[in-house]
Chains A and B, each alone.
Chain A
């Protein structure tokens, strides 16, 4: 590894100190030692703590990059509904922030416990606002779009029915805001999870395999092909790796009418599954 110059090192540490909390750079598929909250109840849960948590959320923590400044989500989950996949108690939220969610884009978070607790305070504040949006469209008509013209089930699954090449939508209504749902339909490449990025591999024998990238290093690449099969390639045996567009999903803005998109969003928003 190239050594940093002394000047740059000072700059780096100054930067690190300013960002008291930051998401760890952990590549996809690398697991980390977990640590757990030592108390059940948040010891830093005053409004002042939540405000400090907000600052970390937006700046040092890098949370808003995926969850948006107002917590309505994007690549990351919508945090304004107050419903969480891995539990909403203080200690459970602490654990999720501290350890991240393996296999997802959510990384572990370094920094002192009190900063994590302040993030918990802010996240709970976001979730306490009762911002459960009402979609204007017709969910029943939206289901028809999903099943017919959209053909969404070829790649997405709801309650285990459908494909596995796209994200599971069983509880997407709990996890994504209306705005993000619409954006994902109209412009799927705008804000895409890392392990759903499209890749096209041309092998040394000239075969072409298209799918989503699951993992990669300088020696090999792992993917799920469009039939749902897990595949792996040593790069020595690969002629070309193409990343022509971020998402395999077609942009539906030109395929569906305005009304159909609105109805589809209403249907997706109605998918609440179980937590």
Chain B
């Protein structure tokens, strides 16, 4: 790249018509190319690389308009939101690294976070600057070429917090010149992306209420609003999803994931819904054509004791489809009615337009924690089909409306039910799936394991430390459990291939236009698989647990892949031949 010695990383107000023209032209080329995909993969890869280099030259920088977010796929050199694009494909259109050369992928730089917490963050990248969160809510701007720090924003949390599962954070969202982050003590902050200075701070909720609230997910910006979820369904909270005005930080709407008593959808015995959980702790997706926001909800509380909350416990373990302007519910579908296995449905919703029984449909596809892969019509919410993608012992099948037909004997017992599949961590969990338009398949990193399910006594929610949470998680021997990356056909749930790994994973996956699928194992093996066959083509020994999802971006026209391994953000690129 010609101007590599003079990299303009961020531009306050780009006003360069020729750059925009180039962007449009490149986009048109890309769209045309995408229509001749299947037999010309290699040719396409080259074209994509050229196209991608063009985008990098444009160096649009800040601000990120809502239009740029809508068309994030036209900026393959950047990573503008948690799942890369609103349809949550987590698919990189970069193809410099492909099946033929991935063997030359080498570690380029590290960013050492120096934390004992799990690093679950997905960095964003805007024209050469990476914005990454550290556990406990620091935001750090890095030079994406070298991993060197540009600025650090420190958010000082109280020392005592109430996250169920670690002081974690999964990343920021961006709009205009601002980054948005939710915090473990239930605030939302806006930070100037150029200076790292705080612009506004809004309290979402009292984090010490009930048994303790927290917010760990990455926000999603839709139009002029910042959509933010919350956690705490292990602590008797009452779930909600919030939207804040990006300019002012004022609450625009709140959707309560448990309806008020008296609402036709209030399906809880007595007042148990008041502390029924149904949190919203991961990131959702957005369909601009349907103007619909999709978000998954968490388990009902108490997790493994359903006796005190008889009924379906709506809208726990569901997907809710909302109008993003008002927060009004359009439809919902409950994957696990009256859940007693902690099978949160907080997976990232993936929006795919594909054939279903010979007819093109707007689909919502969902590998769920309960072990089934679901296909819904995302316009109507209609249940289309579901198929197990891991071993499961709890459902015979589904009726026409998608209600599971239960197999008896799977309930938690006071002495511990030891043969329920999948286990409490699920067949899928929060880890990112990825969809490749090249293969037309969805990739997910599944968990094959069971767990002991013990029925807990009921105690009212409290932040006092006297109440023991359910924490008994025996570790099974390798022959009793494993992980697998699988390629699923979105219309049927048919598994096209699987790649086994030793241990049930916590890593997301990312498919790329180089026909690769990246991910990492709990032991720290970072890998690239052939997206068509599942064959492993490259690996790296990172030697730390992977709890995050990979991303890809351009710096100086060159493709990079980043993934947090242990507490180190590792960034890879191709060695010169």
Contacts and interface: CB of A to CB of B under 8 A. Distances in A.
Interface of A: 28-34, 36-37, 86-87, 91-92, 95, 101-103, 157, 160, 164, 168, 203-205, 207, 209, 214-217, 219-220, 222, 224, 227-234, 236-238
B12 A234 contact: no
A234 B9 contact: no
Contact of A233 (B6, B113, B114, B134): B6
9 contacts: A33-B116, A92-B156, A164-B197, A168-B195, A222-B143, A229-B10, A229-B194, A234-B146, A237-B4
Contact of B152 (A102, A205, A207, A217): A102
A210 to B, nearest CB: 13
B159 A37 contact: yes
B5 A215 contact: no
Nearest to A221: B148
A222 B6 CA distance: 11
Interface in B94-124: 112-116
B572 interface: no
Contact of A160 (B11, B112, B148, B199): B199
B149 interface: yes
Contacts of B61: 229
B427 interface: no
Interface string B29-58: 000000000000000000000000000000
A33 B567 CA distance: 10
Contacts of B113: 31
Contact of A232 (B12, B145, B153, B194): B145
B138 interface: yes
Given A204-B5, A229-B9, A31 B194 contact: no
B351 interface: no
A31 B139 CA distance: 11
B196 interface: yes
A70 to B, nearest CB: 27
Nearest to B114: A33
A168 B194 CA distance: 13
A231 B9 contact: yes
Residue among A86, A87, A164, A232 with the most chain B CB within 10 A? Answer: A232
B145 A164 contact: no
B24 to A, nearest CB: 25
A78 B135 CA distance: 30
Interface string B1-26: 00111111111100000000000000
Given A95-B159, A237-B5, 19 more contacts: A29-B148, A37-B159, A102-B138, A102-B154, A103-B154, A160-B197, A160-B199, A164-B192, A204-B5, A215-B150, A216-B148, A220-B145, A222-B149, A224-B194, A227-B12, A230-B150, A232-B150, A233-B6, A234-B146
B148 A217 contact: yes
B151 interface: yes
Contacts of A207: 6
A32 B194 contact: no
A232 B143 contact: yes
Contact of B138 (A31, A37, A95, A229): A31
Interface in B128-181: 128-129, 134, 136, 138, 140-141, 143, 145-146, 148-154, 156, 159
Contacts of A34: 115, 136
A86 B158 CA distance: 10
A29 B146 CA distance: 13
B5 A234 contact: yes
Interface of B: 3-12, 61, 112-116, 128-129, 134, 136, 138, 140-141, 143, 145-146, 148-154, 156, 159, 192, 194-197, 199
Nearest to B199: A160
Given A36-B159, A37-B159, A231 B195 contact: no
Contact of B6 (A28, A33, A205, A236): A205
Given A37-B159, A164-B194, A168-B197, A205 B148 contact: no
B148 A228 contact: no
Contacts of A215: 143, 148-150
A231 B8 contact: yes
Contact of A219 (B12, B112, B146): B146
A207 B8 CA distance: 12
Contact of B146 (A37, A220, A229, A231): A220
Given A29-B148, A33-B114, A229-B12, A103 B136 contact: no
B151 A231 contact: no
A217 B138 CA distance: 23
A229 B8 contact: yes
Contacts of A103: 151-154, 196
Given A205-B6, A209-B6, A31 B195 contact: no
A103 B112 CA distance: 15
Contacts of B159: 36-37, 91, 95
A231 B7 contact: yes
B316 to A, nearest CB: 34
A14 to B, nearest CB: 29
Nearest to B555: A232
A214 B143 CA distance: 11
B9 A29 contact: no
A50 B116 CA distance: 33
A169 to B, nearest CB: 12
B114 A32 contact: yes
Contacts of B3: 205
Contacts of A205: 3, 5-6
Contacts of A224: 150, 194
B13 to A, nearest CB: 10
Contacts of A31: 112-114, 134, 138, 140, 152
Contacts of A237: 4-6
A220 B12 contact: no
Contacts of A29: 140, 148-150, 152
Nearest to B197: A168
Given A31-B114, A36-B159, A233-B6, A101 B154 contact: yes
B180 to A, nearest CB: 16
Contacts of B143: 215, 220, 222, 232
Contacts of A157: 197
Contacts of A214: 149-151
Given A168-B197, A215-B149, A219-B146, A232 B6 contact: no
B152 A220 contact: no
